[in-house]
Amino acid sequence: MFPAGPPSHSLLRLPLLQLLLLVVQAVGRGLGRASPAGGPLEDVVIERYHIPRACPREVQMGDFVRYHYNGTFEDGKKFDSSYDRNTLVAIVVGVGRLITGMDRGLMGMCVNERRRLIVPPHLGYGSIGLAGLIPPDATLYFDVVLLDVWNKEDTVQVSTLLRPPHCPRMVQDGDFVRYHYNGTLLDGTSFDTSYSKGGTYDTYVGSGWLIKGMDQGLLGMCPGERRKIIIPPFLAYGEKGYGTVIPPQASLVFHVLLIDVHNPKDAVQLETLELPPGCVRRAGAGDFMRYHYNGSLMDGTLFDSSYSRNHTYNTYIGQGYIIPGMDQGLQGACMGERRRITIPPHLAYGENGTDSIGFLQGSAPLRPFRSGEGQPSLGREGGYGKTEPAYPQDPAVLGASVSSPVKWASHADPQGDKIPGSAVLIFNVHVIDFHNPADVVEIRTLSRPSETCNETTKLGDFVRYHYNCSLLDGTQLFTSWVRGGAGTGQVGGHRHGESSSVHPRRLLLPLGPRAPGEHSTSCCFLHDYGAPQEATLGANKVIEGLDTGLQGMCVGERRQLIVPPHLAHGESGARGVPGSAVLLFEVELVSREDGLPTGYLFVWHKDPPANLFEDMDLNKDGEVPPEEFSTFIKAQVSEGKGRLMPGQDPEKTIGDMFQNQDRNQDGKITVDELKLKSDEDEERVHEEL
């Protein structure tokens, strides 16, 4: 695109041939003369030997025209040609500046039309001729091609070729626009194009940076709209033209595609596309958010998408980790909300744009990280570089957390792996969840048993419970309920009562034997357990948030728990649980039992028997084999005198107890070997003293 100012050098126009500018004084002389063809011609003979398919306008009296011609006599001898001078004729028709025959012959002509005109002498130079050039009574032959036509009353002509169905805003004076264009003369001769320059033409409208006709032609355009703009010379480059590419007095035709438009005073524009019901919390500065997005330019060109990487972008908002416009646009959003965020360039990447959008996989419209800078941390120990396991892990089980692999990725846009300078960015965002590092577990009681509840769960209790676990966007992760049973809610993407081709009971596939002290990492391909889960509260067997949420419950009570990631699986996530994910649990307490003190496998409700070994030695032979030991312990339990550690196989627990007492491992317990744990602990204290 050329500036509106004067060119660096002008095309020097040669004088028009005088024979075409002279008005013949004796036009009527020689009316009776015969033409060389043998008879007098009354008027100009017009042969239209090339007529363009489209003729939006025909030459009329008073129009300004630009045309090329060859002038010959009947014998074919050339007497003049504009081609030889490489200069078009530019003149007003019908006002006496041309010979009458040429004035008449140009009437009704279309741009790019070719005509042969036979001009009789009385409409040319008559009986006088033109000394040295045109003999008297000469019939003249002209081959003419019309290249331009305009009138001083003309205005800018705008034709809309394509208008997008959605028009967020239209161009106004003072706006900054980015557009592509092809520029041609009225006859189709190309003089300039932005497409060959690898970028849009970027400028202000109505501020004198453009020719007046373009300023007018861009007004009212929508992003993505295509227009044809025809500009008369007096609103373009006028009598001087522009260098060697735009002749003087040339009409200009621009095919324009508007990419985007903004105003330096613009703020972030928000449009709510979908708002889930019951929004009780909105995101604020300092919250950590997980969201999906599609990022496009204003004309719809997609430049990035989190969906293509199957990974949300996770970041703090309101703290400068993302471009200012996105920081503003995400605040006030609800979980599950979908919104469109339109960001002007001064709140995005500015007039320079950004080259090579290279950032951590899963990131969104981020300013490029500084050297050594990564995604913001939640303050929990992470494990960047580990490999994501293939199977999901129960989100309630506290196991070894893993992180998603960190990769450098370059997300290309059609303009060369970058966001162009001065580009307006549009993000369609789906907020998955957000939390604040100061959040605690949110507990909401859904139902309580009708009977009086005298005992509630506490630390150390052994509990059995059912639960559903999902993400806040409704994605179901795990359930302990059998599909179709009570309290299933949404399971595996199916609502309660919907059919599923998957068998309701799913097989657990353990990963392998556990090392001593390792927490359970059993997982299942399809996530469903089909049986209540068991845990000892406060024993570090489940995630902290679930452990907290299960305390203070009555048997039969149902609760909803919202667990922030720092009380769940943190920024690294777990198998099947995304990093930094807020988890939603629906739990029902099935049963509770008082737990045992740490390190105990069995306790008496009252004092143990005074003669413990004698009572245990059932056949009174001075030794207790496994069978006698097992019979005695089971009798204590059945008589209500003591209890075993809950949640374990009784046979295994009794076997472990026997192994602990059989100190020499000879398969029997003697009176010297039998000791209560309280006695062992007391002896240990004395040894330490």
* Catalytic pick among 99, 231, 322, 443: 99
Which structure tokens are listed for 485?
């049973």
Q: Which of 46, 73, 79, 656 is catalytic?
A: 79
Q: Which residues are 307's β-sheet partners?
A: none
Instruction: Tell me which of 142, 313, 465, 585 is the catalytic residue.
Output: 142
Distance CA 561, CA 559 (A): 6
| Six-digit token string for 81 | 């040609």
| Candidates 2, 64, 69, 291; catalytic one | 69
Best CA proximity match to 574, nearest among 402, 433, 420, 405: 402
Per residue, what are the HEC states of 484-534? CCCCCCCECCECCCCCCCCCCCCCCECCCCCCCCCCCCCECCCCECCCCEE
Distance between CA 622 and CA 609 in Å, rounded? 17
79 in catalytic set:
yes
Structure tokens at 676: 């209560």
CA pair distance 634, 637, nearest whole angstrom: 5
List alpha helices for 292-370, DSSP H.
324-330
Q: Count CB atoms within 10 A of the CB of residue 567.
A: 22
Burial of residue 227 (CB within 10 Å: 0-12, 13-18, 19+) is buried
Residue whose structure tokens are 């060859």: 70
CB within 8 A of 130, min separation 6: which ones? 18, 19, 22
The 3-class SS string of 448-466 reads: CCCCCCCCCCCCCCEEEEE
- Helix orientation angle between 650-661 and 626-638, rounded to the nearest 10 degrees: 130
Catalytic residue (one of 63, 80, 192, 327): 80
Q: Which residues pair with 50 in a beta bridge?
A: 114
Is residue 304 flagged as an active site residue? no
Distance separating alpha carbons of residues 154 and 213, to the nearest angstrom:
11
Residue 434 CA to residue 424 CA, distance in Å, equals 26
Residue 116 DSSP SS3: strand
Four-residue CA torsion sign, 470, 475, 479, 481: positive
The answer to whether residue 142 is catalytic is yes
Catalytic residue among 125, 191, 293, 462: 125
Closest CA to 478 of 549, 537, 393: 393
Closest CA to 348 of 511, 178, 137: 178
As a whole number of angstroms, the distance between CA 399 and CA 390 comes to 15
What would the two tokens of residue 606 be?
């009252």
Residues recorded for the chain = 689
Task: Report the alpha-carbon distance of residue 5 to residue 210 in Å, rounded.
Answer: 9
80 is catalytic: yes
* DSSP string for 32-46: TPPPTTSS---S-EE
Catalytic residue status for 99: yes
**Would you please indicate which residues are annotated as catalytic (active-site) residues?**
69, 79-80, 99, 125, 142
